[in-house]
């Protein structure tokens, strides 16, 4: 089957930082969804963690994470939320991370929603902060069709996406 990608919407953060990136009224005419995110936050400290929310709910998530750094590899499990890693303001200047969110069968109301998240974070000034994060087997407990998606930084209530952060939502048709 050939996959055909359609750009549904793109959000680019202006000069004023944005606490959230929202995709609403998502058409129910595709097979899968994909979000490509080039991001950086204004967090002072280590990397930041944007959470993905479907239809306004961040509950019922269950995901396994694997990551690798210059210091080695590790894994962990989260049953409270699902997130990616992005560069913070203390990482190398003007360096943005890249993340891909993939949500198959987002309109199917008979199954819990599954997802895949892959993040690449690089800090050229500190070798130990170069890493890759990948979720495997992530899912939510909801069976509702996904009609809205929110990305939000969670480390503290004051963190936001900075200027030039860009997220594009794609609809994918398998034909």
Q: Rounded CA gap, 33 and 156, in Å? A: 28
pLDDT of residue 81: 65
Q: Which residues fall within 8 angstroms of residue 171, CB to CB, at 6 or more apart?
A: 5, 6, 8, 26, 27, 29, 30, 32, 33
Q: What is the CATH number of the domain that holds 60?
A: 2.60.120
pLDDT at residue 163 is higher than 60: yes
pLDDT, tens digit, 9 for 90 and up, residues 118-131: 888 776 655 555 66
pLDDT at residue 154 is higher than 80: no
Tell me the pLDDT of the chain averaged across its residues.
82
**Total structural domains in the chain?**
1
Name the burial class of residue 44, with classes exposed (0-12), middle (13-18) and buried (19+) by CB atoms within 10 angstroms of its CB: exposed
pLDDT at residue 28 is higher than 80: yes
pTM value surpassing 0.95: no
18-20-23 Cα angle (round to 5): 120
Domain that holds residue 120: 3-174
More confident residue, 77 or 168: 168
């Amino acid at each position: 089957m050939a996959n055909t990608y359609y750009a549904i919407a793109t959000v680019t953060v202006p000069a004023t930082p944005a606490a959230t990136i929202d995709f609403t009224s998502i058409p129910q005419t595709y097979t899968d969804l994909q979000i490509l995110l080039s991001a950086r936050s204004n967090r002072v400290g280590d990397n930041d963690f944007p959470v993905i929310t479907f239809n306004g709910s961040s509950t019922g998530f269950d995901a396994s994470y694997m990551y690798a750094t210059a210091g080695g590899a590790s894994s962990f499990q989260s049953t409270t939320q699902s997130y990616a890693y992005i560069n913070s303001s203390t990482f190398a200047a003007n360096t943005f991370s890249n993340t891909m969110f993939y949500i198959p069968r987002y309109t199917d109301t008979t199954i819990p929603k599954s997802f895949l998240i892959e993040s690449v974070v690089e800090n050229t000034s500190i070798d130990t902060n170069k890493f890759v994060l990948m979720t495997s087997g992530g899912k939510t407990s909801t069976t509702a069709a996904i009609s809205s998606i929110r990305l939000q930084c969670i480390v503290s209530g004051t963190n936001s996406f900075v200027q030039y952060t860009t997220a594009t939502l794609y609809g994918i048709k398998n034909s």
